[in-house]
Amino acid sequence: MNKRKKVFGPGALIGLIFFIVGVCQLVAGISIFVVGLKNQANSEKIVGMVSEVTSDDIWVEYRYMGRDYEDRLSFYSSLIQEGEAIDLYINPENPDVARSSTEASLGGGIFIFMGAIFTFMGGSFLFASGLKKSKYKQLQSTGRKLYAEVTGGRMCYNYTVNGRHPYKLECKYEDSFNGDTFLYSSDYMWDDPEYYTGQQVAVYVDQNDMGKYYVDLDSLQSKLETSGNVVHDFR
């Protein structure tokens, strides 16, 4: 039996993207922080003065080994004012470049903070998706198996993958004992549900709650299986 082409659910997809981005930001932040600490360890600490603060740049003046230097810091903070003293780290082999002790902690800290947020959000989405799959497996093993009739489906315009919108299959189950009708819908799928209209699809429901269910798309039959004809493809 051929399996239907299912869609990687939006929760899991978003979670995976957020998680990967978050981990990359964490790695980048930690790397910046570690490199900054190493640079400070190989540098000499001096005291300079903020000579100019513009809307985008901070310039500092400092004296090293009897010579005067001026450099622009690689970060900006509105808290730094002109004329104030500032701790600087100078590489003896390249005294023209000055680094502030704030740069490594600020740059690395921003990446670490954003990475932690993205990783947490991504992990939450992945956890919810995994919990959903776990519930489906539990329904398959302990739930009641019904066979519902496929009535059609709908295209889900609120979700797009590579410019395509997936579908959700819809089906109904009629209880012959009391005459009640139960309507169910599946997870996302690529096949057009209208293609399977009239077929029977397996639905697993909770023994105590018919509202907790799982539509097993893999139980659908393909066109070849229902037509009775064999296709010889020699392409």
What are the pLDDT digits (tens) for 5-17? Answer: 555 555 677 788 8
Q: Which two tokens stand for residue 77?
A: 């903070």
pLDDT tens track for 173-230: 998 888 899 999 998 888 889 889 999 999 999 999 999 999 999 888 765 455 455 5
For residue 15, how many C-alpha atoms fall within 13 Å in the half-sphere facing its CB?
14
How many Å apart are CA 131 and CA 136, to the nearest integer?
A: 9
Residue 229 has a pLDDT of 52
pLDDT tens track for 60-78: 999 989 899 998 887 777 7
Mean residue pLDDT across the chain:
83
Q: Are 59 and 26 in contact (CB under 8 A)?
A: no
pTM of the model: 0.54
Sign of CA dihedral 184, 198, 195, 146: positive
pLDDT tens track for 66-116: 899 998 887 777 778 888 898 888 888 888 888 886 766 666 778 888 999
pLDDT interval class at 32 (50, 70, 90): confident
- DSSP string of 173-190, one letter each residue: EE-TTT--EEEEEEEEES
